[in-house]
Structure 1
Amino acid sequence: MSYKKIELQRSYRSSKDLGTIVEQFYNPVLAKTSVYKRAVGYFSSTSLSVAAKGVAELIKNGGKMKLIASPHLEEEDIKAIEEGTRYKEKVIEDSLIKEIELTEDIKKEERLNYLAWLIAEERLEIKVVVHKDLRNAGIYHEKIGIMESFDNEQIAFIGSSNETAGGLINNFESIDVFCSWKDNDKERVEDKQKHFDDLWNNANELLEVMDVSKALKSELIKYQSSHPPSKDEDHIKEEKGGPKIPDELKLRDYQKEAITSWFKNNGQGLLEMATGTGKTLTAITGVVKLYEHLGKLAFVITCPYQHLVEQWCEDLRWFGINPIVAYSHYKWEPELIEEITDFNSGITDHFCVIMTNATFQSARMQKSLERVNSPVVFIADEAHHLGTKNSLNKLFDSFHYRLALSATPHRWFDEQGTEQLIDYFGGKIVFQYGLKKAIGKHLTEYYYHPHIVTLEEKEYEDYLKITQQLVKYYVEDKELSQAEMETRETLLRRRAKVIQNASNKIEVLKNLMENRTESTHNIFYCGSGKTENQRSLELVTQLLGKDLGMRVHQFTAEEDQKQRKKLLDQFESGKLQGLVAIKCLDEGVDVPATQTAYIISSSTNPREFIQRRGRVLRRHKDKKFAEIHDFIVIPRGLNSVDEISPNLFNLERKMLQKELVRFNEFASLALNKNVAENKLLEIKRAYNLMDM
């Protein structure tokens, strides 16, 4: 039990190579300590969990701790003391309770268990120190530490760190160490001992030191568990549980193959799996297996949207993982710092944080994640969203294990972003399971119904005017300037809006729905533009709800998480017959009860229409097959195509080529493939697109 057996340094500093001050100094010294005396500016329960191994040994060996700490008094606290409305002792007691972070969180309860056992066993005495002049003298900010071994050796240390998680782990800190058995240090050790004893005995003319009240001790002892604090990590894991694959989970063969492929690529790779085929459960199973193999693992998960975060949380908890949720209103930072602290110092063998992409890229989150020691697994859901230049720059090279998930990993018109993203996640797509394989086995079969819509006269005039302006930007062998290319893109976007907002879509939808007003489980996808100063979303909602008397509701970014859940529950039960959306049902929202989708408006981005089809094809006990009604806009009646100029014909042909990509894709896997393809033959013949 001698300190002399420890290779003590004269000073310790935070070090990436050597580890934290806790690992270098606290743990080995506390394990041989009989009395630990500490006077600090601030104190929190996290400091005991940071040094958990050492403190556990101190308790086991019959050691004791004496702590002098300064409470953090708010302005209103000082004012209450000055005005005599509250007793000083009561104000300080309340402040100390607040600092110690009394909570019902299970992991923080374990930290408080250290305090409770030390107090209950009379191993810990706490006193608080404040300036006698609360208003003008500032705060007590001294940091003294004295440790006495069972062989009556003494170590004194001074330095920048407080007895908090931030002080011991997260900040860059240093301490100087003095040993009583070294001639040059002996006098300094005696000085520090005297300083501490004077404080403890309230013998300092500037400071007031007082005992902690019985009320505070009683409050702390409530957190004393049936077992004493243990340095045995397996014991802690057994008490708290941990990541575990549920016994009732039965993975499909292709999910097992996906996990195997990821492991073969050294725990890196992208899984390209169709919407509805169980990407999330596959991913969680894979990383839990990795945790079981390594024995220690931090889980860092990011999703593009809040609703995806919430859905992941449900699945994670099924696996025994209690994630820190980080986005918008959640106050995640203090909890995450504590979890990282415990993980880095070996107190815990895992933690999980899940966030939106926006939070992941924030400066606060980036700074927090920089502190995490390996091993870390980074999981990106709908990973294609991370292919932007800014997102790619935020990815951590230090995260060795990487798993990306997407039904549509290839970014539209962004080959470079796609390539860089795949490179980061191990250089390849390690597993593919597309709709063609899944439909009829793990996804519902479907019927596809394309509907042809023409522009009204005023819309056609706008369309024609824009198209005629575009003609000069498509002259063969003419190289366009940057300004001309930008003008062309602007004109193309304006023309696309005319097509997207074609008012005849509402009339076609009305004709479709007049005999379906009793139907349920319908999703209506609208455009974001306006027709006659009304949004398409509002026009569709008015038609279905007011004109046809159906029970429908909009599903947009304006609804919060609680409202969305309520809407989805009502949709599932049939209380709501339909949901009217723009993009909020594109990615990640589970609506397996959906029987019919009406794609009133769609972009030509393959990711969008592939995701939408996936929403409809999820299996449900009450669904034998699904139906998709798709609206295709052509600028004019097909009988007038022969009358237009060659340049105008070519431009319209290019536009329809893009539209027909979606129709061909949807028709190719439909139960009524031949019927759907025949309906498009007239368009293909008119515009010489028979090769599509």
Structure 2
Amino acid sequence: MTVRLTYEDGTIRIETDEELPPLPGVEHDDRIDSARAPAVHYDEILTALEVAGVSVVDDVFDHPVMSLSTDYRLREYQREARDAWHANDDRGVLELPTGSGKTVIAIAAMAELGVPTLVVVPTIDLLEQWVRELEREFEVPIGRFGGGTQHRESITVSTYDSAYLKADDVGDVFGFVVFDEVHHLGGERYRDIARLLAAPARLGLTATFERPDGAHRVIEELVGPRVHDIAVDDLAGDHLAPYDVRRIEVELTDEERDRYEDRQGTFVRYLRDSGLTLSSGSDYRKLVMRSGRDPRAREALLAKQEARQVMMNAENKRRTLARLLDRHRDDRIIVFTAHTDLVYRLSERFLLPAITNETGTPERREILDRFRDGTYSRILAANVLDEGVDVPDANVAVVLSGSGSEREFTQRLGRVLRPKDDGGRAILYELVTADTAEERVAERRR
């Protein structure tokens, strides 16, 4: 018995004149009178056929072996992570802290495998960083999918958005795919990228693998399980800066307290009367759905948003920030908030450069370059430096407001953990409004 495998529009086509043994993901396609499976199953199908003793004509890949070398010398913990990935047949996710050199491990794996590689990243900024790093390390042209460029090379870096559009066209080109910030792959659309690629070798990189919606389990099916993880505290003091997290509670002003209690009270009374608890996402979705037809539900939802605005943007947070900026006048500081409008108010009040999702790429790059060369010693950011941006070394982070996401907190902490030349400690300040729901938010993210 002989079976021929070919790649076709994101699928593996299996052709034979005889009855096939059971194969993963394979179904009969009546349109072509042939068996077919999503490309993600290619390696499993090949292995199953070999185990069954079936002769295979494999026409899926026809790429040359690449001669790549790197000057990187992996640290012991990086070698352990790489070896764990190799031990799982070159598939799986590595969960390592921000600043620990996940990119270095991926580049070492590219050199070892020597096959065409696709690197998938969430942002244009991160695409540019990967391209610069790869051009510096390998003497081969680097392709790009994203940012107005669609140019393929044996090593190509793509945004998730561009990879989603092109995966079925290039699924038989790359034998190795690296998903940076792999937790993004759990999104409904992005999952198709991994399904349509036939690449046998798959590596996911992240500082925070698990998703609150449980979609990390889908990622495990598409990329492989988490094969190695390292906590921040395992590296702090040796390979990352030692650090302190200091929580500062601030009080609402009398006027803010009255406003907060009024708005929060409206919200809580509606929950009590309606039987909702918001202890689960389903109850919150019910509230949102009810707000479209029930005036009281809409009032409650708006009241909750107003109460949140009051506690997140308390005046005493701004006064405390002023004291911290003065205390750390000789340090390099990043201030994080959850609200764009607050960033602009703080920028005007303290005369500090600000980066938000409204900041254009050239301006953002200029601000970060000036932070890097010391022209600026402090910057403000609204949710845009959490991941996917090469933030120059800072040693103090101030979190004025944020979500209850552990991922967001870990990424913000990671922005100040790169080792310091003077061996100094990094500090993250959490400003939390006392006697408000923000205390519970802060506990969740920790």
* C-alpha deviation, 1:479, in angstroms: 6.5
Match for residue 589 of structure 1 among 389, 398, 406: 389
Cα distance in 2 for partners of 1:17, 1:444 equals 50
Residue 307 of structure 2 is aligned to residue 495 of structure 1: yes
8 Å Cα contact 1:510-1:543 kept in structure 2:
no
> Cα 1:553–1:262, aligned 2, differ >3 Å: closer, same or farther?
same
> Cα 1:627–1:319, aligned 2, differ >3 Å: closer, same or farther?
same
Provide the residue aligned with 1:659 in structure 2. Answer: 442
Match for residue 141 of structure 2 among 315, 322, 325: 322
* C-alpha deviation, 1:556, in angstroms: 3.0
Provide the residue aligned with 1:270 in structure 2. Answer: 93
8 Å Cα contact 2:97-2:232 kept in structure 1:
yes
Match for residue 160 of structure 2 among 332, 351, 357: 357
Cα distance in 2 for partners of 1:553, 1:622 equals 26
Give CA-to-partner distance per residue, 1:117-152, whole Å, 9 cap, x none. Answer: xxxxxxxxxxxxxxxxxxxxxxxxxxxxxxxxxxxx
| AA in 2 matched with 1:511 | R
Cα distance in 2 for partners of 1:245, 1:620 equals 29
Match for residue 217 of structure 2 among 411, 419, 424: 419
* C-alpha deviation, 1:660, in angstroms: 2.7
Cα distance in 2 for partners of 1:485, 1:329 equals 37
* C-alpha deviation, 1:243, in angstroms: 5.0
- Write out aligned runs for 1:349-498 (5 A): 351-362=154-165, 365-370=166-171, 372-373=172-173, 376-397=175-196, 398-412=198-212, 414-415=213-214, 417-426=215-224, 428-472=225-269, 474-475=271-272, 478=275, 483-484=286-287, 486=289, 487=297, 492-498=304-310
| AA in 1 matched with 2:132 | E
> Cα 1:477–1:302, aligned 2, differ >3 Å: closer, same or farther?
same
Residue 322 of structure 2 is aligned to residue 510 of structure 1: yes
Provide the residue aligned with 2:51 in structure 1. Answer: none
| AA in 1 matched with 2:261 | L
| AA in 1 matched with 2:251 | T
* C-alpha deviation, 1:457, in angstroms: 3.5
Report the identity percentage: 25
* SS of structure 2 residue aligned to 1:389: coil
> Cα 1:494–1:606, aligned 2, differ >3 Å: closer, same or farther?
farther
* C-alpha deviation, 1:524, in angstroms: 1.3
Match for residue 372 of structure 2 among 572, 576, 598: 572
> Cα 1:286–1:573, aligned 2, differ >3 Å: closer, same or farther?
same
* C-alpha deviation, 1:492, in angstroms: 4.5
Cα distance in 1 for partners of 2:260, 2:386 equals 28
Q: Return the TM-score normalized by structure 1.
A: 0.50
Larger Rg: 1
| AA in 2 matched with 1:314 | R
Residue 347 of structure 2 is aligned to residue 541 of structure 1: yes
* C-alpha deviation, 1:353, in angstroms: 1.6
Cα distance in 1 for partners of 2:327, 2:238 equals 32
How many equivalent pairs are there? 372
8 Å Cα contact 2:371-2:392 kept in structure 1:
no
Give CA-to-partner distance per residue, 1:293-322, whole Å, 9 cap, x none. Answer: xxxx22111111111111111221233143
- Write out aligned runs for 1:227-376 (5 A): 244-247=68-71, 249-291=72-114, 297-320=115-138, 321-330=140-149, 332=150, 335-336=151-152, 339=153, 351-362=154-165, 365-370=166-171, 372-373=172-173, 376=175
Cα distance in 1 for partners of 2:188, 2:74 equals 36
> Cα 1:279–1:243, aligned 2, differ >3 Å: closer, same or farther?
farther
Q: What residue ranges of structure 2 are gaps of 5+ in the alignment?
A: 9-62, 278-282, 290-296
> Cα 1:620–1:479, aligned 2, differ >3 Å: closer, same or farther?
closer
Cα distance in 2 for partners of 1:560, 1:484 equals 36
| AA in 1 matched with 2:350 | L
| AA in 2 matched with 1:391 | Y
| AA in 2 matched with 1:660 | E
8 Å Cα contact 2:98-2:415 kept in structure 1:
yes
- Write out aligned runs for 1:523-538 (5 A): 523-528=334-339, 535-538=341-344
* C-alpha deviation, 1:512, in angstroms: 2.9
Give CA-to-partner distance per residue, 1:144-172, whole Å, 9 cap, x none. Answer: xxxxxxxxxxxxxxxxxxxxxxxxxxxxx
- Write out aligned runs for 1:673-684 (5 A): none
- Write out aligned runs for 1:617-656 (5 A): 617-622=417-422, 624-635=424-435, 656=439
- Which protein has the bigger helix share? 1
* C-alpha deviation, 1:418, in angstroms: 1.8
Provide the residue aligned with 1:112 in structure 2. Answer: none
> Cα 1:476–1:298, aligned 2, differ >3 Å: closer, same or farther?
farther
Provide the residue aligned with 1:77 in structure 2. Answer: none
Cα distance in 2 for partners of 1:278, 1:479 equals 45
- Write out aligned runs for 1:131-142 (5 A): none
Cα distance in 2 for partners of 1:620, 1:566 equals 23
- Write out aligned runs for 1:84-163 (5 A): none
> Cα 1:390–1:309, aligned 2, differ >3 Å: closer, same or farther?
same
Cα distance in 1 for partners of 2:411, 2:187 equals 20
* C-alpha deviation, 1:656, in angstroms: 2.4
Q: What residue ranges of structure 1 are gaps of 5+ in the alignment?
A: 1-14, 20-232, 292-296, 340-350, 530-534, 546-551, 636-651, 666-692
- Write out aligned runs for 1:51-66 (5 A): none
Cα distance in 2 for partners of 1:18, 1:448 equals 51
Q: Return the TM-score normalized by structure 2.
A: 0.75
8 Å Cα contact 1:303-1:382 kept in structure 2:
yes
* SS of structure 2 residue aligned to 1:308: helix
8 Å Cα contact 1:592-1:620 kept in structure 2:
no
> Cα 1:394–1:441, aligned 2, differ >3 Å: closer, same or farther?
same
